[in-house]
Structure 1
Amino acid sequence: MGDDTFKESEHIVSHARATLKEEGVSFEKVKKIIGILYRTFCRQMKRK
């Protein structure tokens, strides 16, 4: 994975975490959701 792709994925995760926190979702729930998103992202990257 290139540096740009990694930075973009970090930005997406950071933005998602901030948005969920603003909505009052607990940290544990955010971690679970981020984990699901990350695993999905990794699976899609392997397919390319």
Structure 2
Amino acid sequence: ILRPGRRAVIVTHRDITDIAARHFTVLQAHEQRVHKSLTRRILVLS
């Protein structure tokens, strides 16, 4: 899907790191707590 050398950024409230790692290389993974029941998960993929 991505051209070689390109990156994609996905922001979600669910932990999809395992799923993303099956199809892409996970370059970075970050978590940002927004409030009590919401944590944003940010993945940088290539």
Shorter-chain TM-score: which interval?
0.3 to 0.5
**Which has a greater percent of strand?**
2
**Which has a greater percent of helix?**
1
Indicate the structure whose relative CO is greater, using CA pairs within 8 Å and at least 6 residues apart.
2
TM (norm. structure 2) is: 0.34
TM (norm. structure 1) is: 0.33
